[in-house]
Structure 1
């Protein structure tokens, strides 16, 4: 399918082009009538002015040139001394993704579907950090602001149909974003109102009874273009690969932009997302998935270990916010981004606790949760020179607040026999213990991007205060944990004339850690420190970007079991990750677009009280990942309008337990797409296109990851979708 990007030429640009062409034709005609035959007529130069790419705007094809996620300023990627990947709208459409995790399948250093779902959560492993439970690294930044999560299972996700691009910032990023996982962050960038009219409607059908309809309407609301609107919506209904589970989503995202002057803009964003059914999210034992059981062999990927009458996951999310920007003069400008979120969730499941022969003993969990959060980020930017130095100076303060309450209970459930499963057994609702939580964080940061000839320097620092208050309703005893942290970054890049740009950087991060030691002392924040050296390549005249980086990342103050007090932890653990990451994106020819990536990740537990895991690899972290995606478009001839693409994703073996005694085998998966633009050969059908996608084309059955012997997940089996889109 074609990208939803705005037309390459604005209305004003087209008027300028038409005027220039008219002048050229008129001059040529006059000269032809009056000049002698032997004289040569020189025509005026024709200049085409197009819309420049914005950091939060559409991308032409697969290669972005600008980004703000790494610096919070509109900066060319070639001048950003950090490895940042951008997944644009065109790639998401070509690969027909329905989750953010799925959109990251061809991104180096990211393991996006260790515990895959049909849309419940987007949890990733990034530069060796992430996984499940308390170590889960959820995708939780939208338009540069954190999307807060609840205490237990209330973790918001964002529908990718409402996104313009997805940006992966690797390594510690606390200087700009505060408390964050040291592996990095994924920033989702929303679709915004467009100055050019854009209208789209699409229908999609597929395997597992999939049905989907989406629409995207945008354009100016007045002749002067001071008021712009956009309305994006989607409805999806589908089964999943696991029996007795279902997925359903309703999504609506209105937005409105007011531009009273060329120097001032205000965009208001609204989002409503309701997931009546959250699909599957169960785990299975390693015996029967990673290795066959001598009693029952392999567990089917479609096997449902719960009870249909008890299983549920529903989630509401409503948000309202704005992005304001005003430019005072050539030096100073200010920005403020704000978002308020109200979310709720209900969750019930029965899961496998142990295996005896072919009998699976189960336990039940039930949870209800509500969350209200506010996030605001205020920035002042100054662009000026001091002698030979050019500065982009950024000052900012951000504030985050979250109020959540959850009822959580664990109970028993009757066992189920895998060889003769019987559903319909009654499960008693466990008693819910209610807890209230109040979180807040206040941060102050400053950053200077300095240019000296071809040298680019970035320095920044931040101070944070964070507080977390937990109050169990049963006791009313309040636990308050307060933390402060100072983080920094420094980087340098040199941009050669030939498009090569080597760089080096150092950055730190912090992340609060909940809980206390046996002695009652609250845990300190875990900290991260990273050294990175890399090189980028983007020559003039070629739409492409090649990046390579080596990094050394250490996380300290990691929780590790207290050997003297069972059930408690000490904070002396350490994890070290070193690796190499490569990514190449580009238009090889006018017809061919390619994405290639590779990552080598050497992750080790370097300090712990659990001697069995000392020096071992953390669970779910592969040593090697690689991917290749290519799309070819036929631009002439009888097949004009036909496009086809294919990709392969490889993940090496991973550890399935802390002692590395369980190994999850490597796997490779193939994807494919075929599309046809009817308007290329039939002008009366302009805007109509058909696309077919297959994920896991050869239906490879594999285990995507294990967190322990009783916690393994199957990867996603083959899915095929066919979509019809009309744009006008």
Structure 2
């Protein structure tokens, strides 16, 4: 798709909207305020308010952007153990997770990593230290996941060019107390014990409590893992107009200490699938805690206020040999012996006001607010980069961690960031069919870095302003045409850990033009969406030669199409399908003297697709099968190292054996496909997907 075609599409779409507005046939539009479905219904559709796409409580049909909402029941019903598993079943998003980024990094619309795909927890941004996000632990406590594709800095600040993922946790609800207990067991001695409990304690008090404990021996040698996640929330309805919700979420993870499989003379050898070349005393640990107090106040019929005060603490620890390279004689050279600890604390507050009002005689809703965060990040490490050893290819690593860092393991740096922003959004109903959605945000960030070894300090203030404007035209109450323009900003690296030289650069800037269609049909039994976009990101770091100074002159762009279909057919059949195509490239980029202009960015597949089929067989028996396709990607910006594409098929069976008992069987990677999810930058080391496995569950509700 040419750039000119996309640029012409917006005025063309708006012209069609104008012609349609002139039509004499009135269209009954839904009111601006949409009531969300009950939390326990477990369903989302185009009329469900999307938390990621706007703070205006708009449905997907009313939002001028490509969005997807997944209910928690849907996520867990498709064998998705992590948020990343779930969102990569939506259009155009693929996983690039490794232990170094917490296993949570994503690629969307041609832009990759945590600096471009932001992840939120109930609308709260978790600032990224050293490229790592490790929360939430699993999907047991997830009520809904909302996805917004494309630039979203106008909503959430710096670092959201590709997509925003908002995880909405299960929340307290009024009514009788309901409990769900799950026990599970499967391949590789995988075990699970989980509980979900909630309901009313009194007329004014309700609660929600979730706990999930998991463990596994793993599919690679020495691949044992375990995790514990729990969340507790208490809501007090002080009056019909005022409520307070206090919650605490906690996660502990000891994931597999697997850092990939080396290629043999540039080729993957299937016999090495279960080998683990890490050291025998390797460690990976993540600990996350989030405490929040949310206040919701209906001041009058037109004005509401919401405040969220939060404290987030994250600790991460690695001790590994992380790089493995095959050598003639079938030995593996191990290097990058790293011991690292991150400690991060974030205190923040977000206050917003929502007003329903008249604007020049037109129905309108406006949200205004402020957002403040103070983030401390400390790093301890040793970098024994010159140390290496060798182990037999036919073996499975082992040995002990060693370091030749003369400074040893200890505190190296301490960083502080203070962020303040003002934001506003508005939706105005221009006519019965046409609405205008706008937004603006101004961010100010001050970052400070203390070098504890060199006893030096550098600091920098960065600011950025972003905006978006979109028109939504209702061809019918169930069919919307939209067009929008949005901007975003990104740091040249994660803001918390910018090096002294990186702090001298401005924020990179991106802009997007997008048009799309969304429709619900067959009395709500079917939905489809289509989106086309063009994104340009400027001010990339570029360097003419290895010895030349780095300049902020590079440019990257992406053009793409995304489509999705949800369809409930007769006789118990349900279909969920989506596909995406992106043409991403560096328009102007030189990497250490290597010309990269015209190349595709690393970790970006051209095509992705997903399919999931469900069939209700009767007598409480349901079956499902799904396929995930990811096209080939490059492991480097030079486009010399290609990682093959893959298709993985999963399936499940569920049986409502008794009114309160449900049994399930999950089958993952049904055809035992051997594939790589991503590769190291050198391209000689692949991170493999898990082999075929099964998992049996028993759920008891009481």
The secondary structure found in structure 1 opposite 2:455 is: coil
The secondary structure found in structure 2 opposite 1:478 is: strand
Alignment of 1:84-103 (within 5 A): 84-103=67-86
CA distance in 2, matches of 1:119, 1:230: 30
CA distance in 1, matches of 2:574, 2:696: 22
TM-superposition CA deviations, 1:562-591 (whole Å, max 9, x none)? 52626x632222110110001122433472
Deviation at 1:518, TM superposition (A): 10
Tell me the residue number matched to 1:658: 637
TM-superposition CA deviations, 1:107-158 (whole Å, max 9, x none)? 111002x336799431111111114xxx665653101111233346574444
CA distance in 1, matches of 2:467, 2:669: 42
TM-superposition CA deviations, 1:379-418 (whole Å, max 9, x none)? 0110122455110111011112210111121212421121
Q: Tell me the C-alpha RMSD between the 2 structures.
A: 2.5
CA distance in 1, matches of 2:617, 2:100: 33
CA distance in 2, matches of 1:576, 1:304: 38
Tell me the residue number matched to 2:256: 279
Tell me the residue number matched to 1:621: 604
CA distance in 2, matches of 1:571, 1:443: 25
Residues 668 and 508 (structure 1), Cα distance of their counterparts in 2 relative to 1, 3 Å cut: same
Tell me the residue number matched to 1:376: 349
Tell me the residue number matched to 2:421: 443
Deviation at 1:281, TM superposition (A): 4.4
Deviates more, 1:621-630 or 1:384-393: 384-393
The secondary structure found in structure 1 opposite 2:257 is: coil
Which of 705, 721, 724 aligns to 2:695? It is 721
**Residue 429 (structure 2) pairs with residue 457 (structure 1):** no
CA distance in 1, matches of 2:297, 2:561: 40
The secondary structure found in structure 1 opposite 2:84 is: helix
Contact conserved, 1:180 with 1:510, CA < 8 A, in 2? yes
Which of 521, 532, 537 aligns to 1:550? It is 532
CA distance in 2, matches of 1:373, 1:521: 21
Which of 111, 125, 147 aligns to 1:129? It is 111
Tell me the residue number matched to 2:276: 304
Tell me the residue number matched to 1:702: 675
Contact conserved, 1:442 with 1:465, CA < 8 A, in 2? yes
CA distance in 1, matches of 2:217, 2:573: 35
Which of 258, 267, 289 aligns to 1:291? It is 267
Contact conserved, 2:415 with 2:450, CA < 8 A, in 1? yes
CA distance in 2, matches of 1:300, 1:139: 34
Structure 2 unmatched runs, 5+: 1-33
**Residue 360 (structure 2) pairs with residue 400 (structure 1):** no
Tell me the residue number matched to 1:493: 472
CA distance in 2, matches of 1:150, 1:156: 13
Tell me the residue number matched to 2:519: 537
Residues 267 and 348 (structure 1), Cα distance of their counterparts in 2 relative to 1, 3 Å cut: same
The secondary structure found in structure 2 opposite 1:538 is: strand
Which of 184, 190, 214 aligns to 1:204? It is 184
**Residue 291 (structure 2) pairs with residue 320 (structure 1):** yes
Tell me the residue number matched to 2:146: 167
TM-superposition CA deviations, 1:186-211 (whole Å, max 9, x none)? 01101101113321000011111100
Deviation at 1:298, TM superposition (A): 4.6
Greater CA radius of gyration, 1 or 2? 1
Contact conserved, 1:198 with 1:219, CA < 8 A, in 2? yes
Residues 712 and 561 (structure 1), Cα distance of their counterparts in 2 relative to 1, 3 Å cut: farther
Contact conserved, 1:274 with 1:316, CA < 8 A, in 2? yes
Residues 497 and 151 (structure 1), Cα distance of their counterparts in 2 relative to 1, 3 Å cut: closer
CA distance in 2, matches of 1:116, 1:436: 25
CA distance in 2, matches of 1:203, 1:519: 52
Tell me the residue number matched to 1:359: 331
TM-superposition CA deviations, 1:597-652 (whole Å, max 9, x none)? 000010101111244422011112111111110111234xxxx1000000111111
**Residue 654 (structure 2) pairs with residue 675 (structure 1):** yes
Tell me the residue number matched to 1:236: 214
**Residue 618 (structure 2) pairs with residue 609 (structure 1):** no
The secondary structure found in structure 2 opposite 1:329 is: coil
TM-score, normalization by structure 2: 0.88
TM-superposition CA deviations, 1:534-563 (whole Å, max 9, x none)? 000024721443111000011111223352
Residues 120 and 422 (structure 1), Cα distance of their counterparts in 2 relative to 1, 3 Å cut: closer
Tell me the residue number matched to 1:510: 489
CA distance in 2, matches of 1:438, 1:542: 50
Tell me the residue number matched to 1:266: 244
Tell me the residue number matched to 1:415: 390
Residues 242 and 612 (structure 1), Cα distance of their counterparts in 2 relative to 1, 3 Å cut: farther
Which of 455, 460, 463 aligns to 1:484? It is 463
CA distance in 2, matches of 1:99, 1:298: 26
The secondary structure found in structure 2 opposite 1:716 is: coil
**Residue 447 (structure 2) pairs with residue 468 (structure 1):** yes
CA distance in 2, matches of 1:60, 1:518: 48
The secondary structure found in structure 2 opposite 1:175 is: helix
Deviation at 1:677, TM superposition (A): 0.3
Deviates more, 1:717-726 or 1:382-391: 382-391
The secondary structure found in structure 1 opposite 2:611 is: strand
The secondary structure found in structure 2 opposite 1:188 is: strand
Residues 538 and 152 (structure 1), Cα distance of their counterparts in 2 relative to 1, 3 Å cut: closer
Deviation at 1:429, TM superposition (A): 7.3
CA distance in 2, matches of 1:492, 1:95: 34
CA distance in 1, matches of 2:500, 2:174: 60
CA distance in 1, matches of 2:638, 2:74: 39
Contact conserved, 1:533 with 1:549, CA < 8 A, in 2? yes
TM-superposition CA deviations, 1:639-678 (whole Å, max 9, x none)? x100000011111111222221222222111110101001
Contact conserved, 2:229 with 2:252, CA < 8 A, in 1? yes
**Residue 660 (structure 2) pairs with residue 687 (structure 1):** yes
The secondary structure found in structure 1 opposite 2:222 is: coil
The secondary structure found in structure 2 opposite 1:75 is: coil
CA distance in 2, matches of 1:703, 1:121: 14
Structure 1 unmatched runs, 5+: 1-51, 680-685
The secondary structure found in structure 1 opposite 2:534 is: strand
**Residue 59 (structure 2) pairs with residue 76 (structure 1):** yes
TM-score, normalization by structure 1: 0.85
Tell me the residue number matched to 1:245: 223
